[in-house]
Structure 1
């Protein structure tokens, strides 16, 4: 009887213990909003829908990525984007175009709304880039402007923006990526307006 009682006490004690380490908190980040402001052209673009960009490999996930000098990818263990990168970029870019002031009747492709123009493309990079020995962030987006009526590609262009970072802290990196995004969006917006006007 005493032996049984001791076993019960030991089991009760073990039930309150754990061999697992405490969980490390994971921060969920969003890309900071683009700086507001109208670009160089006075023209406007009405009826543009944004397709979710294509992406491959690690750029399909929601990890905060680092490209190392060995051309391999690492990821921050305690940081995540709030959505997978293609969705994050699409939503962020939609907001950036609204803030520009020259775009009207914007929509997402998933909404199924009719539009005269469509912005499609491939997200090639949204990450920290240490590959050349410098600390910088980079966003690289291969954009395509399509006329929806005949699905013809009217224009295509690669947009890339880099910003140096003094710290590899996740907060600093996300802030720098927001700056890079704002600078890239300014050029992309001008391009969209001018190409649609010429098309």
Structure 2
């Protein structure tokens, strides 16, 4: 009887303790942004739709990717982006166009309104990789500008940005991602102005 009571007491006490280690809290990172100066380009009477880039399964998620050695992809443990990577990049590009202010309107692909031009793209890289022992962010994007009314390709171009991190911790790498995304977005704004203005 005493033995049965002891076993019952032990079973009741089990949920109160665990032999599993506690998980570190998940860190959710937003993509840092540096406010840009308004564009000096002349205004263009055109509307633009910026679509979220197409991406493979690895790049479509919200994990923060790192390539510690050539040809081997990993992730920063316990850290994620606040949104899927294509959404993060689309929103950053839209913000850059809005700050530039030379277009009549800039929309994402969820809107039902017709636009004059669409910016579509394929995301090929969005990760950090180690160069001489230090992380360096790499963003590679194949972009296309398409005339919506005439359903024709206006121009296409590959963009690649590399931005060294100031440190190894994920917080420093995230800051480097922000700077790289800013540079990419600004390059897209400049290129698009030339193409749309000449269409």
Query: CA 1:187–1:45 in structure 2 vs 1: closer, same or farther (change >3 Å)?
Result: farther
TM-fit CA distance, 1:178? 1.0
Kindly indicate whether residue 93 of structure 2 is the aligned counterpart of residue 77 of structure 1.
Answer: no
Cα gap change, 1:60/1:193 in structure 2, threshold over 3 Å: closer, same or farther? same
Normalised by the size of structure 1, how large is the TM-score?
0.91
Scaled by the length of structure 2, the TM-score of the pair is: 0.91
The 5-angstrom pairing of residues 48-197 of structure 1 reads 48-130=48-130, 135-197=135-197
Aligned residues: 199
Report the alpha carbon displacement of residue 40 of structure 1 after superposing the two structures with TM. 5.3
| Secondary structure at 2:106 match in 1 | strand
Instruction: Give, in angstroms, the shift of residue 131 of structure 1.
Output: 6.1
Per the TM alignment, residue 133 of structure 1 is displaced from its structure 2 partner at its CA by: 6.0
Q: Secondary structure at the match of 1:94?
A: helix
Any gaps of 5 or more consecutive residues in structure 2? Answer: none
Q: What is the CA distance between 1:112 and its match in structure 2?
A: 2.1
Report the RMSD for the aligned CA atoms in angstroms: 1.8
More strand by share: 2
> Runs of 5+ in structure 1 lacking a partner?
none
Pick closer, same or farther for the CA change 1:191–1:129 going to 2, 3 Å. Answer: same
> Residues 82-102 of structure 1, C-alpha deviation per residue, up to 9 Å, x if partnerless?
111111111221122112222
1:138/1:16 Cα in 2 relative to 1: closer, same or farther (>3 Å)?
Answer: same
Report whether the alignment pairs 1:30 with 2:45. no
| Structure-2 change in CA distance of 1:20 and 1:12 (3 Å) | same
The CA deviation at 1:47 is 0.7
Q: Distance in 2 between matches of 1:32 and 1:99?
A: 16
Deviations 1:97-127 (A, max 9, x none): 1122223311111222210110001111121
